[in-house]
Amino acid sequence: MSHASYPALRLRRTRSAPWSRAMVAEHVITPANLIWPLFIAEGKGVEEPIAALPGVSRWSVDGIAARAREAAALGIPCIALFPNTPSHLRSERGEEALNPDNLMCRAIAAVRDAVPEIGILTDVALDPYTAHGHDGIVDDQGRVRNDETLAVLVEQALVQARAGSSIIAPSDMMDGRVGAIRARLEGEGFHDVQIMAYAAKYASAFYGPFRDAVSTRGLLKGDKRGYQMDPANSEEALREVAMDLAEGADTVMVKPGLPYLDIIRRVKERFEVPVFAYAVSGEYAMIEAAVAAGAADRDAMVLETLMAFRRAGCSGVLTYHALHAARLMEG
């Protein structure tokens, strides 16, 4: 098969005018592709700016409901909730995760009441509730106990589903947790509650500001490499995704985002399922630092990185820039 060559074919022709570029664009990004992560604080009328994440705050439950209204007004279909549990409620086994009146559950109820049509994604893991900062129950040697942790995660997921969660998102990376959670949700009649598995969650240096946001950075004893994935591995990510899908995950997530676009592409091509990425706190902080240094245009960089996720195969992106991006798209 022969191909036309210059000057019969000039690839610049379709790039020469805005109308033509729009017509032949292979991918689009809209507010419907965004999920906005929000941090919850105790109190009322509280907004606590997070120094490591310029422009991001923790909000009390009433503020979370107000942010949900903002999101819905801009066409953002889903918010993701993460609690900053007060230190006196954190314990070795994270019992506060099972309290139906905890920060997470109160925020779910407030959002469900204020904005019934919005999706609510809730994090299932024990690190916001443990005194040691790990995602599960730790033994005397400091190792996270997989099967013992599973039993708690299942109950945590059920508590969140009862409060009104739309999507249960296990971020703990314990083996078998998706199947255990799915079985319990089905048994309790929560047939329509989705599971978005943090299927390929890497032990990353990009999580630092998030740990400040939920106040776990100073608590963490050791590291999470015993259960989160090694950044050197990609075949293993495909095995993780295959396991989570077989156990009943509706959608899967790759975390972090931009440094793992190759993983997103491989997952999408292999499994042909909805894939999401989490543009994590370190990614957000790098963009904001570049903007503050005068080295980048925030608007252009945010939209370009979001398009990169779409091009790689993402159905949606969890991003702290969601509201800003949605406003840009609206304008």
Active-site annotation, residues: 201, 255
For residue 211, the cross-strand partners are none
Residue 140, C-beta contacts closer than 8 angstroms, at least 6 positions apart: none
SS (H, E, C) 158-192: HHHHHHCCCEEEECCCCCCHHHHHHHHHHHCCCCC
DSSP state letter for 82:
E
Contact between 294 and 42 (Cβ < 8 Å): no
At 15, which helix (H) or strand (E)?
none
Residue with tokens 């991003």: 319
Q: What's the Cα-to-Cα distance from 116 to each of 40, 72, 101, 108, 203, rounded to whole Å?
A: 19, 10, 20, 11, 35
94 vs 108: CA distance, rounded Å: 19
Query: Residue 195 CB: number of other CB atoms within 10 A?
Result: 23
